[in-house]
A and B are shown apart, each in its own frame.
Chain A
């Protein structure tokens, strides 16, 4: 496999402009002759579908939800970055670029990150024009706040519901195109495979989740915006249906998978309560702006937090990172919390939690200010734990929450399959080995509103297309395969539920491919995952009918894919003999416990290529060159 990143030549600040000029255009009158399938209608998918529809393409949008507004982008809380420099604190495109490359621990492509920083200002303009009610000051201008890992205030927010408001903005743009007939929406459809004709992506096969019918759709190009794969861990902050099926099945059709081991553990989640738990709830890390993180200095201290005097508390982030303090980046904050708990200093009934304390902030600013800033988060915490965080410190613990890895794409966001584009969290993206706060919303919308509308035109204008119909043999073969898989699930009739397999896989992943990784653990995972997968295909129990709304059958397909993807994640984590960002190999750390990169050997994107069933995947490397931001040891002291 040849990886051509198609990074344009020239100085970094000119690359995107030059490239846009070099891209071929589709004549306005011809646009309606091209159809584009968009799978997923979260921030990236909805903004792409709406923008492509507006341009005049014939767009078919698919979601397993009943409505585009239910996508999990909606749950993002904290905010979205843009270097508008409204705070007059020295921000610039260059600084956002620099922070993102550094924050990603030098494992992202400079050219992509620069472009992301460049277009991020337009996103704010776009959203305001759509009516997104961002927070404002008393003069009526937009307000900014600082956010985990940044020393400038560049984060725009809509209370604690920024993701919701941005998604509703994109949803409204999409609704307008649906009304205009430019986009057709197919709800409750799950994409199960990609159809290739002459090596080009020409359609998808999906299951109608209400009737069970396997349906085929043809187009000139396919855009995947299907989100991340954090649910491979079972417990994560993802929505329950969030899955890797679309990306995994196109991987098996020839799309390279970039950096699968780069997963992000978010430091501020509500700790696990019991074995019944179905998911973890994240609380925006904006809480770290005013909350102070601490643990008792004494092991096994069972006193109530308000009974522990100041000098017996360890505000460990403030101690270890005096200049960033509680705002240290996510990977650092998460790892340190785990370390404290591993030392036996954790709090709460499980000992797997640290305190996030607002007492000082309430004293300094007054309860009403805290209420205005974080009211909904405090309510949510209260609802879940029955504890009042205005009175007692919150208990928090890290949880898996984002995957930086994903399908490999070039500068045009096209995968290694011609005509298959990948946007948002689903691609291996611009965040390198660690994503900074408030950057996911930015990337999803940048891809959908401001990048794909240009780059897809170049492909459509230049690629050869032979006419394709959904009753062609290429579609029928794929449909046959999917029908066979459904039949297989329904006939195994084993003893264990899909849920039980998923939980077991999640435990293997969390214990061995989680926050801290080492060779022995990864080798263990590589033994246990295939064994579990083998058992799954012999012993899973799927009840109900195939031609009906059947959540068990839906989950079976998703877990089958997680059982394969988990193995690739462990393989990738094992081969990457360094620590960087969210990938912490315990063998590779500095004397004071920070991640130790090996730029000489690992300054590349690992793009894994499927080699066939039962065969080891092939490693391809895209070397990363840093012309503008010179790699250095990340320091937040």
Chain B
């Protein structure tokens, strides 16, 4: 199949960006979207042009490196997948496809489709952990965890930190990302001790980084490659309120 591409090119954080048109011919419908970009890049290199920069690594939807807005939607038109899992068979032969970076103030563009998401790491550093020192720990089975709580914690912990929720949100809110971690740890007995400090510090850092607030748009849930539910945002709000009044 053949596709026409409109890709955002930007030399650096302060440079002006623009869409550039490309064509890629004879792509297998079974190829992934990133493999299609590989083909484009080999063409560009052969012509002596700078290839399109994009983050990617595991190419199996788990490392969270890749991420671009494809045809107006983070990670493209399919639900529950990362960009690397997007297959060309989802597009029509001859389709025009637009690819642009995550657009959010806390994610400055580094080059082309590569953005700086270290703001998410700083939120985690603010409190996204249980302070269990190496070896200062009880035997694993000494604290049973009810299966439903453990399962729900796992649902939240599946977050890959890609930032699609932020890119999808009209307010560039990172609430789903923060909620996933707060919820994961608050559901477990091991995480309850620090729950108050954790939620306060993570929210504080989230605000400091310039992420917006949640206005119940739910676009984050629709675009999340791991289908993390907005009910975790409800739990985040509850945890926050609980921490404030206690």
Q: Which of A125, A139, A187 is in CB contact (< 8 Å) with B144?
A: A139
Contact A70 B65 (CB under 8 A): yes
- Interface bits A116-154 vs B (CB < 8 Å: 1, else 0): 000001101111111101111111111000000000000
Nearest chain B CB to A445 CB, angstrom units: 10
Return chain A residues, CB-CB under 8 Å to B46. 497, 541
Are A54 and B30 also in contact (CB < 8 A) when A84-B140, A281-B60 are? Answer: no
Contact A172 B62 (CB under 8 A): no
Interface residues of A in 266-310 (CB under 8 A from B): 273-274, 276-279, 281-282
Contact B51 A552 (CB under 8 A): yes
Does residue A515 face the partner (Cβ distance < 8 Å to B)?
Answer: no
Does residue A51 face the partner (Cβ distance < 8 Å to B)?
Answer: yes
In this complex, the member of B117, B132, B151, B191 whose beta carbon has the largest number of chain A beta carbons within 10 angstroms is B132
In this complex, what residue of A is CB-closest to B149?
A: A140
Q: Which of A322-330, A359-367, A380-388, A524-532 lies on the face that meets chain B?
A: A380-388
Return chain B residues, CB-CB under 8 Å to A54. 133-134
Are A172 and B58 also in contact (CB < 8 A) when A129-B132, A161-B158 are? Answer: no
Nearest chain A CB to B49 CB, angstrom units: 7
In this complex, what residue of B is CB-closest to A498?
A: B45
Return chain A residues, CB-CB under 8 Å to B75. none
Complex Cα–Cα for A141 and B185 (A): 18
Complex Cα–Cα for A279 and B116 (A): 25
Q: Which of B91-99, B123-131, B206-214, B237-245 lies on the face that meets chain A?
A: B123-131
Does residue A544 face the partner (Cβ distance < 8 Å to B)?
Answer: yes
Interface residues of B in 132-160 (CB under 8 A from A): 132-135, 137-141, 143-147, 150-151, 153-154, 157-158, 160
Are A158 and B89 also in contact (CB < 8 A) when A125-B138, A176-B131, A210-B110 are? Answer: no
Return chain B residues, CB-CB under 8 Å to A175. 121, 124-125, 128-129
Number of A-B residue pairs having CB atoms within 8 Å of each other in the complex: 215
Return chain A residues, CB-CB under 8 Å to B59. 239-240, 278-279, 281
Contact B28 A274 (CB under 8 A): yes
Does residue B35 face the partner (Cβ distance < 8 Å to A)?
Answer: yes
- Interface bits B111-127 vs A (CB < 8 Å: 1, else 0): 10010111011001111
Return chain A residues, CB-CB under 8 Å to B38. 276, 278, 499
Does residue B53 face the partner (Cβ distance < 8 Å to A)?
Answer: yes
Contact A176 B35 (CB under 8 A): no
In this complex, what residue of B is CB-closest to A122?
A: B135
Q: Which of B30, B31, B36, B144 is in CB contact (< 8 Å) with A141?
A: B144
Are A131 and B53 also in contact (CB < 8 A) when A54-B133, A69-B161 are? Answer: no
Q: What is the predominant secondary structure among interface residues of chain B facing chain A?
A: loop
Contact A383 B81 (CB under 8 A): yes
Return chain A residues, CB-CB under 8 Å to B160. 164
Return chain A residues, CB-CB under 8 Å to B138. 125, 129
Q: Which of A69, A130, A273 is in CB contact (< 8 Å) with B64?
A: A69
Interface residues of B in 190-206 (CB under 8 A from A): 190-191
Return chain A residues, CB-CB under 8 Å to B140. 84, 121, 124-125, 127-128, 142
Does residue A562 face the partner (Cβ distance < 8 Å to B)?
Answer: no
Contact A497 B28 (CB under 8 A): no
Contact B60 A137 (CB under 8 A): no
In this complex, what residue of A is CB-closest to B50?
A: A544
Contact A165 B157 (CB under 8 A): yes
Does residue A468 face the partner (Cβ distance < 8 Å to B)?
Answer: no
Contact B34 A239 (CB under 8 A): no
Nearest chain B CB to A42 CB, angstrom units: 11
Return chain A residues, CB-CB under 8 Å to B61. 380
Complex Cα–Cα for A542 and B99 (A): 25
Please classify how large the interface on chain A is, using the bins under 10, 10 to 19, 20 to 34, 35 or more: 35 or more
Does residue B42 face the partner (Cβ distance < 8 Å to A)?
Answer: yes
Nearest chain A CB to B51 CB, angstrom units: 6
In this complex, what residue of B is CB-closest to A168?
A: B157
Contact B134 A51 (CB under 8 A): yes
Complex Cα–Cα for A158 and B56 (A): 24
In this complex, what residue of A is CB-closest to B137?
A: A129
Nearest chain B CB to A74 CB, angstrom units: 5
Return chain A residues, CB-CB under 8 Å to B161. 67, 69
Complex Cα–Cα for A139 and B150 (A): 11
Q: Which of A164, A210, A278 is in CB contact (< 8 Å) with B34?
A: A278
Return chain B residues, CB-CB under 8 Å to A129. 130, 132, 137-138, 190
Does residue B221 face the partner (Cβ distance < 8 Å to A)?
Answer: no
Interface residues of A in 150-183 (CB under 8 A from B): 158-159, 161, 164-165, 168, 171-173, 175-176, 178-179
Nearest chain A CB to B125 CB, angstrom units: 4
Return chain A residues, CB-CB under 8 Å to B188. 131, 133
Complex Cα–Cα for A499 and B35 (A): 12
Does residue A201 face the partner (Cβ distance < 8 Å to B)?
Answer: no
Contact B111 A548 (CB under 8 A): yes
Return chain A residues, CB-CB under 8 Å to B39. 276
Does residue A449 face the partner (Cβ distance < 8 Å to B)?
Answer: yes
Does residue B103 face the partner (Cβ distance < 8 Å to A)?
Answer: no
In this complex, what residue of A is CB-closest to B126?
A: A179
Return chain B residues, CB-CB under 8 Å to A75. 58, 60, 62-63
Query: Which residue numbers of A lie inside 8 Å of B, CB to CB?
Result: 47, 50-51, 54, 65-72, 74-75, 84, 86, 121-122, 124-131, 133-142, 158-159, 161, 164-165, 168, 171-173, 175-176, 178-179, 187, 210, 239-242, 273-274, 276-279, 281-282, 379-380, 383-386, 449-450, 453, 497, 499-500, 541, 543-544, 548-549, 551-552
Give 15 pairs: A residue, B residue, CB < 8 Å, sorted on A: A67-B161, A75-B58, A122-B137, A124-B140, A126-B134, A130-B130, A133-B154, A133-B184, A161-B62, A175-B129, A179-B126, A239-B57, A278-B34, A450-B134, A552-B45
Extra 13 A-B pairs, beta carbons < 8 Å, given A240-B59, A277-B35: A66-B117, A67-B120, A67-B161, A72-B57, A74-B58, A133-B153, A133-B184, A141-B144, A142-B140, A187-B118, A386-B89, A497-B42, A500-B42
Closest 4 CB pairs of A and B: A140-B144, A172-B129, A129-B132, A129-B137
